[in-house]
Amino acid sequence: MYESTESSESAAVPGSSESLGSFGFVAVRRHEGGVAELVLDRPKAMNAVSTEMARGIVAACAQLASDPSVRVVVLSSTAERAFCVGADLKERNSFSDAELLRQRPTTRGAYGGVLELPMPVIAAVHGFALGGGFELALACDVIVADETAVVGLPEVSVGVIPGGGGTQLLPRRVGAARAAELIFTARRVEAGEALALGLVDSVVPAGSDREAALAMAAAMAANSPVGLRAAKRALRLGHGMDLTAGLEIEDAAWRTVAFSGDRAEGVAAFNEKRKPRWPGV
């Protein structure tokens, strides 16, 4: 969590394809093969999440969630030194209690928007991913970090607690005891230790997090769109359930794909020894 001192600006994302729109410090871009990129674009503030930026994340996620052509999303950053440093504490410092309370649904909606995206989401993390910034990454299905990454949930050090899902998402990644230690100490964790603890899923050379995440997204997006969404639904809904309940959730998800056009095409392509042409239904 850092203070910000900037005004609105936009930075170019190298190697991007078609722009699908800008939503207040957030951009959406389309790549080939059904990959979309949700770009945090407030570099002068190291992507500190202001009210305007939170609204942008909500709007961008709504667009992505409703687009059936999007198979996989990469959450990336244009800031050189950070993925996202969490809440905009300069803005928060100006709030009355009533204003902070009014802002809460907006910020909660931003984190929830990423968490509830129906397709796989990969975070491309470099530099600081702290507080709400790390919570945005935790809301993704996979976290790719580069060697410069520093992650953590330092909220108790400024008198609050994680409010973007951190107290619930972190234990699901690393277990209750480890999450408690990290949250209660408010300590920052560098890339190597973060990988060892399971806070991130892979560490790549400095400056290559976005490229690696896009490559992983392309590999995922080559698979059935219907299958990807159903598999994510089963993974998310079944987590924490007892085995019997989890298997029922899996069966329900299986039924959504078993009679789909994607299933028919996948079987046909396998037998005809060709790449599938997924109808996505």
The residues annotated as belonging to the active site are 87, 132, 135, 155
Beta bridge partners of 2: 88
Determine the Cα–Cα distance for residues 119 and 66; give it in Å rounded to an integer: 11
**Which tokens is 210 given?**
């976005």
**Which tokens is 179 given?**
């999450």
Listed residue (113, 123, 1, 121) closest to 50, CA to CA: 1
